[in-house]
Amino acid sequence: QRLSEQDYSGIAMSVPGAVNQETGVIEGISAVPYIHGFSWYEALAHHQLPVHLENDANCVGLSELLAHPEIENAACVVIGTGIGGAMIINGKIHRGRHGLGGEFGYMTTIEPAEKLNNWSQLASTGNMVRYVIEKSGQSDWDGRKVYQEAAAGNALCQEAIERMNRNLAQGLLNIQYLIDPDVISLGGSISQNPEFIKGVQKAVDVFVERYEEYTIAPVIQACTYQADANLYGAFVNWLQEENQW
């Protein structure tokens, strides 16, 4: 069905995977394989409306520009089963030469041993849950339950959270000194828990206080629009691509 230009100005999409901005093809792999391998520009051309796609983590980052128009340089870290992210430089997404700008989860924060230990594998909520499952010998754990049990005094869950926070703090300090952003916003469902933000900030402060070389601590906050952040970010991306922002 064709969309009327009287009703719509365009089509904005937030998608998993790396978007080829020239062709409209979503490259790489994701949990929704049927969105890959063809041009979305061509697939939606019959609507005769401008179409713009962007990676979902990049959209989360762009959503912060809508919430905080004063931001010029920012980083967004999306934490879940792994870690994704976005870099905002001079008010625009920094995609990089290969579309991998802001893929912070690939950072190595410790020397790899038998297998690669990147930031996604060390500091994600997925890794926190796996740690509790391994140590407890029980499989019925998720992030929410880990935090609930930690609040009730479970020492293993408290240890798992502190371990995740330390690993997150290391990566966040790397990001701070790499691009010196105005703010680092944390996304993912866990960011809606105020105790999570407090714990990460505390872990960062410990590093800053321990090592005198760290003269600036990152400004850390939860992403403003939380579960709707990727939708707001897709809107901002569309406006920018159409030179309306």
Report CA 30 to chain centroid distance, whole Å.
Answer: 15
Confidence of residue 109 (pLDDT cuts 50, 70, 90): confident
Question: d(Cα 244, Cα 235) in Å, to the nearest integer?
Answer: 11
List, for residues 6-42, the tens digit of each pLDDT value. Answer: 688 999 999 998 899 999 999 987 889 999 999 999 9
Kindly tell me the burial class for residue 244, based on how many C-beta atoms sit within 10 Å of its own C-beta (0-12, 13-18, 19 or more): exposed
DSSP string, 70-128: T-SSEEEEEESSSEEEEEEETTEE---TTS-TT-GGG-B-S---SS--BHHHHHSHHHH
List, for residues 159-179, the tens digit of each pLDDT value. Answer: 999 999 999 999 999 999 999
The answer for 187, left when phi > 0, alpha when psi is -120 to 50, beta otherwise, is: beta
What's the pLDDT at 2? 62
Q: Which residue has the tokens 């997150």?
A: 168
Q: Comparing C-alpha atoms, which of 142, 144, 114, 145 is closest to residue 130?
A: 142
| Share above pLDDT 70 across residues of the chain, in percent, rounded to a whole number | 95
**Highest-scoring range by mean pLDDT, 58-62, 95-99, 105-109:** 58-62
Domain topology for 69-223: Nucleotidyltransferase; domain 5 (3.30.420)
Tokens for 147?
């935090």
Phi, psi at 53, each rounded to 5°: -115, 150
Mean pLDDT of the chain: 93
The yes or no reply on domain 1-56+228-245 and CATH 3.10.129.10 is no
Domain boundaries, the chain: 1-56+228-245, 69-223
Eight-class DSSP state of 3: P
What's the pLDDT at 233? 98
List, for residues 117-157, the tens digit of each pLDDT value. Answer: 899 989 999 999 999 999 999 999 999 999 999 999 999 99
Confidence of residue 112 (pLDDT cuts 50, 70, 90): low
What's the pLDDT at 31? 82
Report CA 198 to chain centroid distance, whole Å.
Answer: 18
What sign results for the dihedral spanned by CA atoms 59, 63, 64, 68?
positive
Domains 1-56+228-245 and 69-223 share a fold: yes
Average pLDDT over residues 228-239: 97
